[in-house]
Structure 1
Amino acid sequence: MLKQFLNLKLSQKLSPQQIQLMKLIQLPTQAFEQRLKEEMNENPALEAGKEEDEDYEKDEFDNDEEYDDFDDNESIEAEDINIDEYLSNDETPEYKTQANNYSDDDDRRESPLASPVSFHQDLINQLNTFILNDDEREIAEFLVGSIDDMGYIRRSIADIVDDMAFTQGIYTDEKTVERILHIIHELEPSGVGARDLQECLLLQLKHKTPSEYVALATDIIENQFDAFTKKHYEKLQQKFNVSNEQLKKAVHEIEKLNPKPGGSFTGNNKITENIVPDFAIRIVDGELELTLNGRNAPTLHVSKDYQEMLQTYKVSKDKSHAQKDAVQFIKQKLDAAKWFIDAIRQRQETLFVTMNAIMHYQKEFFLDGDETKMRPMILKDIADTVGLDISTISRVANSKFVETPYGTKLIKEFFSEAMKNDQGEDVSTLEIKKILKNILEEEDTHKPFPDDQLAELLKEKGYPIARRTIAKYREQLDIPVARLRKKM
């Protein structure tokens, strides 16, 4: 027998408008520009530019302006649509029907990008200088296509033979591919087509002018590569029965080689990343001035043509079923356009107040650029200052950049944890890493400091830090252990 139960449940759900706003906040300027284009393509009721008979004033953000009435969790109510709401411009707030994200102060600078010959195309062009039959040329071009952007072929000859047979219908054997690979090794830059670092260095040494030290360097890489990578110089001196000066010159020949021959190619066809700062901070009369980059966001407004369609429907006496379906579609598009414009405005306000709080929190750094003056700062510090959720602050800081007098910085780099110095004061881990880096840059490369000695040096400077913490910071700075930092 079926029984009925009455169950009460309290839950929270995000409205579609809130979800849209959160997604917009997370986008950096370039991605935001692309999102605008997509929305305008999908929604014909959303148009760019100012309306011809309206003279809208641009929205401006003041550095000291507070947005106390902005609530990150506020939702835009999607009530039943009233046609008259769209027909009266007086009743609709201006900010809901147009958005101006461009400032006259924004620089209209273009970044021209060169389009040189690609790395792989250059290798193909070099093959034209070799006499090859059709089968050999097909194998050579397949091998060139297997070279990665660093200049390596990271596949076995057996795998390449099988791949050519299954995907290209080229049937050959490993001996033939190996022979063609030797031709690839003759191409420039020297070392291209190597299958590992050892082979790459040997190929480059082969192309060097023969000398005593080049020969010794070749012998070291070919027969004592493991000892060389671990910098066991005493072992190498005993193995080859050479003086410290002879070994030093041989090692110097190796250090001049390029471990990534493809990466140095000026025409490499990697996607050029053109960073567009989302904010700009300038120092004016000793005070910080923050501006929000809006040059990639056009002025938006709700289409008057769609409003006129609704006006026509309102005065029409005969309303067919097809007309009602069309009007319903128009109303949905108008609603979506208004929601999107309002979300853009809220996005701009959220970005500005958040970055404004970060700027004032790290005021000492922005005034003189000294990284040791960065204060410890976590997401909660800024969230409490502006009254927004921590997740919102995280979205603002994610993948966004700020242009400062000291270069363009990733915003999330300003966030760091705190540690106590010997005075009991909170200091930023960024400050400690900066001091650690300065110590390592000034160390004697013949006798680099081990981690326990680095811990002692930092303790003398007033930062009592454990050795394992030093090791963690050193790894984060991409600095190897003392043994691998040692030079002859």
Structure 2
Amino acid sequence: MLKQGLHQKLLQKLSPQQIQLMKLIQLPTIAFEQKLKQELEENPALEVGKEHEEDEFDSFQDEYDDSGNEKIEADDIDIDAYLSDDEIPSYKLMTNNYSSDDEEKYTPYASGTTFHQFLEGQLRTLSLSEQDQIIAEFLVGSIDESGYIRRELIDIIDDLAFTQNIFTTEEDIERLLKTIQNFDPAGVGARDLRECLILQLQRKSITESRELAIEILDKSFDAFVKKHYQKLLQKFSINEEELKDAIIEIEKLNPKPGGAYAQDNKIAEQIIPDFTIRIVDGELELSLNGRNAPELKISNEYTNLLKGYKESKVKTKSQKDAVLFIKQKLDAAKWFIDAILQRQQTLLLNMNAIMEYQKDYFMTGDERKLKPMILKDIADKINMDISTVSRVANSKYVATPYGTKLIKEFFSESMKNTQGEDVSTTEIKTILSTVIDEEDKNSPLTDEKLAAILKEKGYPIARRTVAKYREQLDIPVARLRKKIV
């Protein structure tokens, strides 16, 4: 049964300007510059430069706000609200401090050959039949960025049949794969880590330790990976010194041959910090990167268009349509300029609160002095929403006297030490990492022993918590940290 009724609701909605501001806040410097460039291209009423005129749009904004459903006609627009009485050209208010021979400084970008282009270049030096050429190109295309072919050969045979209309055998695929495995870098085209390491060793001149290393990888790869050294000593009837020499040979190899090539040809990326913190006369000084504070103004051309419309005695329909279009663009330009100013204030407010909260760290650079800090701590301090603080912390960098840091690295949970003081989990991870670095690699410390050592140092944490922190630090278990010294 259908019923009609009236209901009152109280809803909280974000205005388009608030949404625009939130999106701008979370952008790092490079992305912000791209957004700025896009806005300048899309809105001709917006220009780069300093606005010297007094802001004459506020009165109009209040009087003719069309954010609701009402329709604004051209005759309703107060043209005077958009025009400035200041007739002084902007160039007379600026100082030219640049000489004609000044050059724009920029960082050149290097162009390099991709990993697959490098392999295809080697493939072109071979004399192959037409079918073998197509198969070899398909195999090269199946190699991932690490240098491996992760697919089964039978699957490659099926793909060749369906996509290239080529019917071949596993023996032919194996033959061409061995040809590709002779390409540089050594180990490329391997189907697993074991084959990759063996291929690299076979490229080297033969010595006793390398022959032993190949035999270990070929016949006892699992025991080697799990570092069951006693089993290896017994199986190959060797002493610890011989095993150590073979392990050293294996450790020199590259488990990701393709990754090494890609790294060498990768265009260098530079992190642009959003903030800079300096120590000046014993006090911390915070500054916002100038690239986050562009000078924008409303286009004078659009103001002149409005002036021409006002002075025109006969106002045609096309002129009225043009005025409505100009109004839209001017409003959008003003909103964008206001959003940028609010973005600058929000960024500085957040980072200043973080700097003051972690003052001991920024003064010394000692990570042990990082206080436990969560998003809510900063949000409460500056009376902002947690989501706003999160947007600032997750994507922004700050240049400090101790290096460029991601802001979210200063946030951490807390726990109490034996003295009842709140300490940061970052501090505990730093101590844990130091303890593991100083352990006897011939007999690495288990998580239980690490927990006991941390307890002695005043940090009573459970074994499972030690395991969690160790995994976050990307440190393997004790058995895999074992080395023959």
TM-score when normalising by structure 1: 0.87
Does residue 247 of structure 2 align to residue 251 of structure 1? yes
Superposed, 1:195-234 pairs within 5 Å as: 195-234=191-230
Aligned to 1:356: 352
Superposed, 1:240-319 pairs within 5 Å as: 240-265=236-261, 270=266, 272-295=268-291, 298-319=294-315
Does residue 322 of structure 2 align to residue 326 of structure 1? yes
Task: Work out the CA distance in 2 between the residues paired with 1:415 and 1:128.
Answer: 53
Aligned to 1:69: none
Distance 1:3 1:146, change over 3 A: closer
Shift of 1:347: 0.3
Aligned to 1:6: 6
Distance 1:486 1:2, change over 3 A: closer
Please give the secondary structure, in 1, of the residue aligned with 2:291. Answer: coil
Residues matched between the structures, number:
451
Q: Is the 8 A contact 2:292 2:344 kept in 1?
A: no
Task: Work out the CA distance in 2 between the residues paired with 1:89 and 1:389.
Answer: 41
Aligned to 1:66: none
Aligned to 2:21: 21
Shift of 1:140: 2.2
Does residue 114 of structure 2 align to residue 118 of structure 1? yes
Aligned to 1:71: none
Corresponding letter in the other structure for 1:121: Q
Aligned to 1:31: 31
Task: Work out the CA distance in 1 between the residues paired with 2:475 and 2:78.
Answer: 64
Task: Work out the CA distance in 1 between the residues paired with 2:2 and 2:200.
Answer: 82
Which is richer in helix? 2
Distance 1:110 1:442, change over 3 A: farther
Please give the secondary structure, in 2, of the residue aligned with 1:283. Answer: strand
Shift of 1:324: 2.0
* Deviations, residues 298-326 of structure 1 (Å, cap 9, x unaligned): 42111111122122222323223332222
Between stretches 428-437 and 356-365, larger displacement belongs to 356-365
Corresponding letter in the other structure for 2:154: A
Distance 1:276 1:168, change over 3 A: farther
Between stretches 288-297 and 342-351, larger displacement belongs to 288-297
Please give the secondary structure, in 1, of the residue aligned with 2:261. Answer: coil
Aligned to 1:60: none
Query: Aligned to 2:463, which of 463, 467, 472?
Result: 467
Question: What do you get for the CA RMSD once the two structures are aligned?
Answer: 2.3
Superposed, 1:429-448 pairs within 5 Å as: 429-448=425-444
Does residue 159 of structure 2 align to residue 163 of structure 1? yes
Shift of 1:456: 0.6
Corresponding letter in the other structure for 1:113: Y
Superposed, 1:350-389 pairs within 5 Å as: 350-389=346-385
Corresponding letter in the other structure for 2:28: P
**Which protein has greater RCO, CA pairs closer than 8 Å, 6+ apart?**
1
Please give the secondary structure, in 2, of the residue aligned with 1:295. Answer: helix
Task: Work out the CA distance in 2 between the residues paired with 1:34 and 1:171.
Answer: 49
Please give the secondary structure, in 2, of the residue aligned with 1:213. Answer: helix
Task: Work out the CA distance in 2 between the residues paired with 1:463 and 1:145.
Answer: 52
* Deviations, residues 60-118 of structure 1 (Å, cap 9, x unaligned): xxxxxxxxxxxxxxxxx76666433211367xxxxxxxxxxxxxxxxx96433322333
* Structure 2 residues not aligned, in runs of 5+: 55-64, 87-103
Aligned to 2:403: 407
Distance 1:455 1:109, change over 3 A: farther
Corresponding letter in the other structure for 2:380: D
Aligned to 2:57: none
Q: Is the 8 A contact 1:419 1:427 kept in 2?
A: yes
Task: Work out the CA distance in 2 between the residues paired with 1:173 and 1:89.
Answer: 84
Distance 1:485 1:3, change over 3 A: closer
Shift of 1:297: 5.7
Shift of 1:233: 0.8
Q: Is the 8 A contact 1:419 1:426 kept in 2?
A: yes
Please give the secondary structure, in 1, of the residue aligned with 2:186. Answer: coil
Distance 1:344 1:447, change over 3 A: same
Task: Work out the CA distance in 2 between the residues paired with 1:287 and 1:231.
Answer: 52
Aligned to 1:398: 394
Superposed, 1:67-106 pairs within 5 Å as: 82-88=78-84
Corresponding letter in the other structure for 1:386: I
Q: Is the 8 A contact 2:233 2:243 kept in 1?
A: yes
Task: Work out the CA distance in 2 between the residues paired with 1:174 and 1:271.
Answer: 38
Distance 1:273 1:78, change over 3 A: farther
TM-score when normalising by structure 2: 0.87
Task: Work out the CA distance in 1 between the residues paired with 2:258 and 2:419.
Answer: 51
Please give the secondary structure, in 2, of the residue aligned with 1:301. Answer: strand
Q: Is the 8 A contact 2:109 2:267 kept in 1?
A: no
Distance 1:229 1:19, change over 3 A: same
Aligned to 1:72: none
Shift of 1:429: 0.4
Task: Work out the CA distance in 1 between the residues paired with 2:66 and 2:456.
Answer: 63
Identity %: 66
Please give the secondary structure, in 1, of the residue aligned with 2:257. Answer: coil
Q: Is the 8 A contact 1:30 1:296 kept in 2?
A: no
Shift of 1:271: 5.7
Corresponding letter in the other structure for 1:19: I
Shift of 1:122: 2.1
* Deviations, residues 342-371 of structure 1 (Å, cap 9, x unaligned): 000000110011111111111111112111
Corresponding letter in the other structure for 1:301: K
Aligned to 1:425: 421
Distance 1:2 1:181, change over 3 A: closer
Superposed, 1:130-145 pairs within 5 Å as: 130-145=126-141
Please give the secondary structure, in 2, of the residue aligned with 1:398. Answer: helix
Corresponding letter in the other structure for 1:17: Q
* Deviations, residues 31-53 of structure 1 (Å, cap 9, x unaligned): 001111111121111112346xx
Corresponding letter in the other structure for 1:427: V
Aligned to 2:333: 337
Shift of 1:291: 1.1
Task: Work out the CA distance in 2 between the residues paired with 1:451 and 1:267.
Answer: 34
Task: Work out the CA distance in 1 between the residues paired with 2:408 and 2:135.
Answer: 47
Task: Work out the CA distance in 2 between the residues paired with 1:268 and 1:223.
Answer: 33
Q: Is the 8 A contact 1:151 1:261 kept in 2?
A: yes
Task: Work out the CA distance in 1 between the residues paired with 2:20 and 2:438.
Answer: 51
Q: Is the 8 A contact 1:116 1:267 kept in 2?
A: no
Does residue 264 of structure 2 align to residue 235 of structure 1? no
Please give the secondary structure, in 2, of the residue aligned with 1:121. Answer: helix
Task: Work out the CA distance in 1 between the residues paired with 2:354 and 2:66.
Answer: 34
